[in-house]
Every structure is written in structure tokens, then in C-alpha cells.
Amino acid sequence: MRKKTSAAQTAAAFSLVELVVVVAILAVIAAIAIPRVVSAVKGTDESALRENLAGLRTAIDAFAAEHGGAFPASIADGLGNAANTPGAFENHLLKYSSDAGQAAGAPDSAHPFGPYLRQIPPVPVGANKGKNTVAIDAANAPPLVTTGTEGWVYNPTTGQIIANSDDPNQAGLRTYDEY
């Protein structure tokens, strides 16, 4: 025996066509919104790269200003790292230093300069995202992207630094000089 439904019960229910229309509208909204969210996240990464490069550039310039124009890693650091080595770059920016660029762990009358950074910032984009290590490329100005896993590539002769990103979408964001 079939139960009779009243007009009020029928009007309160959704038909299959109405549900399909609602799902289609939600799909269109999602298709519009998702690419915008993804591009906003990409913009955040690019902004972080600009900030990290600006911080590195400021530290490099401050070191050069206080050390007679010598860029970090262009001279030995006095702690066993020769010129043109990643260790010298890090020690010059992360430790105290003398007029001659000799690094020390603590400030004293002979080492009044620095440190210029608390840490080398990580690269926020590309294949080496999250890496804060530095490769040295003294032969090319600007330095070239490497196949290594370092986050940054630095030229101690010119003081130029780039993100070591092989991401083709980041091609316009590799050198600080573009900002």
C-alpha cells in the first residue's frame, strides 16, 4: 500500500535536478577560486625570496663597508676557511670580525664588527626550497645556478647572490639586482 504525500511534504523535498544544479554551481565556483588561491601562495613564496635576498644583500654590503670593500668570502676567515669557500662566507656573516675580516666567536676589541646575520635564510622557492647552504661561484657574474643542493649561489668577487633554483617559473627571481 502506497502512502499518500501531502503538497507540503513534496514542496520541502529537493528534486534530483535541483541537486545537480547546486553541485554544478559549486564546481564552477571551485574552478574559479582554486587557481587564485594557488597563485596567492606562489606570490607569498616570491615575496619571501625577495625579503631573504634583501637581507643577504644588506649583510653582504654591511660587511664590505666595514672591511674596506672586501666582500664576505673574498678573503680567508682566520678560522681555517680559505677565500672563496662556503665556510668563509658563513663565518664572515655569522660571526664577529676584525678590520682584516678575521672571524671570532665573541666580540672583543680586535673583533668589533658583525655578526651581520643570525643565520643564512633558507630559499623559499624551487627545487632547493628550505636549504640555507651556499655554493661559491667566483667565475661568473652573476653567479650561475648549480646542479647541487645548495640553497644559494654566491660570487665573492662581485658580492652577487642568487637563489639556487632550477625552477623555470622562478627565472626572473634569481638575482638580487632585479629588485
pLDDT, one tens digit per residue, over 119-149 is 999 998 888 889 999 999 999 888 888 888 8
| % of the chain residues with pLDDT over 90 | 57
Round the average pLDDT of the chain to a whole number and report it. Answer: 85
CB atoms within 10 A of CB 123: 26
* Angle between helix 16-66 and helix 86-94 axes, rounded to 10 deg: 80
The span from the CA of 43 to the CA of 125, in Å, is 10
Please check the confidence at residue 155 and state whether its pLDDT lies above 80. Answer: yes
What pLDDT does 8 receive? 56
Residue 9 vs residue 19, higher pLDDT: 19
103-118 tens-digit pLDDT: 998 999 999 999 999 9
pTM for the whole thing? 0.72
- d(Cα 73, Cα 54) in Å, to the nearest integer? 18
Give me the residue spans of the domains in the chain: 17-178
Say if residues 71 and 57 touch (Cβ distance below 8 Å).
no
41 contacts 33 by C-beta, under 8 angstroms: no
